[in-house]
């Protein structure tokens, strides 16, 4: 999803699922495919490398998931690391991947 109206219509709904660092908003759409929006605020991931890693992992897992026709927005809701710490580590990537997989799998199971 790219347009502000698309994001706004999904954000009006309550969060569907939460993990330690992420919130998922979802609603069904009338298209033949699922759409994804990602919000990674600078205040929760101050380094661009970290924000880009979050987006990259989210997109990869979204493509692999067999989701129904929904619009979903993944929003970072808590800080994942600080400016003082390393931008990405294998441990951080594994944590992000596990949480994001849990989010997307919740929609695979819930909508079938």
pLDDT single digits (tens) 22-63 = 998 888 888 888 888 999 999 999 889 999 999 999 999 999
Q: Residue 61: its pLDDT value, please?
A: 92
Stretch among 3-12, 14-23, 49-58, 66-75 having the lowest mean pLDDT? 3-12
3-state secondary structure of 84: coil
Q: Is the pLDDT of residue 101 over 70?
A: yes
Q: How far apart are CA 11 and CA 26, in angstroms?
A: 8
Find the angle CA(50)-CA(106)-CA(6) to the nearest 5 degrees. Answer: 65
Which residue stretches of 1-112 are H helix? 4-11, 48-64, 90-110
Model-level pTM? 0.81
Q: Which of 49, 64, 48 is nearest to 97 (CA)?
A: 64
């Amino acid at each position: 999803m790219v347009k502000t109206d698309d994001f706004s219509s999904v954000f009006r709904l309550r969060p569907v699922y939460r993990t330690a660092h992420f919130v998922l908003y979802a609603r069904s759409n009338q298209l033949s495919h699922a759409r994804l929006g990602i919000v990674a605020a600078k205040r929760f991931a101050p380094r661009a490398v970290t924000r880009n890693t979050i987006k990259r992992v989210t997109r990869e897992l979204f493509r692999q998931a067999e989701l129904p026709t929904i619009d979903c927005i993944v929003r970072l809701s808590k800080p994942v690391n600080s400016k003082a710490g390393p931008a990405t580590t294998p441990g951080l990537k594994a944590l992000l991947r596990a949480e994001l997989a849990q989010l997307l799998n919740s929609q695979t199971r819930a909508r079938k």
